[in-house]
Amino acid sequence: MSEHGHHPAISRRNVLILGGVAIVASALPAAFHTFEPDNGALADRLATLLADKHAAARLGALLADAVNLPRETDAIAAGIGIRLTSVGWHRDGTPDELRDALAASVRQDYVKGDMVSLSGWQLARTSAELCALAASMVNEKNPEEEHG
């Protein structure tokens, strides 16, 4: 028993831990809200940055078969969106800001060593996911070409 009646004493350590949990818990709804936007719209915006969407799609199909990359457009776009947000991009940014954030995310992948290997080539994970996104989008428009 504590000196304060029937309740056990709370240590400073417990107060700090509970305070930290409360801060994290209060941030969760904001974090989930951040990633709720329309990933299909983000996918379309990212696709406009590709010089040759079909070439990227062919590479994306090879990557998806060789490594563990998602195949659904929304899932891929959500992953890229998280990467872009981590380098300061916001969804209502301009196309130039999107391009800059994509380049920053690729640089961040190289710095972190977050690479994808394919036939001896090393690609930044963001680049690989962008190619997988292109493959997914092409397959959604032309499902008969998915395995062709």
Q: What does pTM read for this prediction?
A: 0.70
Alpha-carbon torsion angle 101, 104, 105, 109, nearest 10 = 180
The position carrying tokens 């947000």 is 85
pLDDT digits (tens, 9 = 90+) for 91-105: 889 999 999 999 999
Amino acid identity for residue 122 in this structure: Q
C-alpha 49/C-alpha 29 separation (Å) is 31
Domain ranges of the chain: 1-34, 39-145
Residues 6+ apart with CB under 8 A from 145: 138, 139
Alpha-carbon torsion angle 93, 95, 101, 106, nearest 10 = 150
C-alpha 66/C-alpha 132 separation (Å) is 11
pLDDT digits (tens, 9 = 90+) for 104-133: 999 999 999 999 988 888 999 999 999 999
The residue among 21, 132, 147, 29 whose CA lies nearest residue 78 is 132
C-alpha 80/C-alpha 20 separation (Å) is 29
pLDDT digits (tens, 9 = 90+) for 28-84: 544 444 445 578 899 999 999 999 999 999 999 998 888 877 788 999 999 999 999
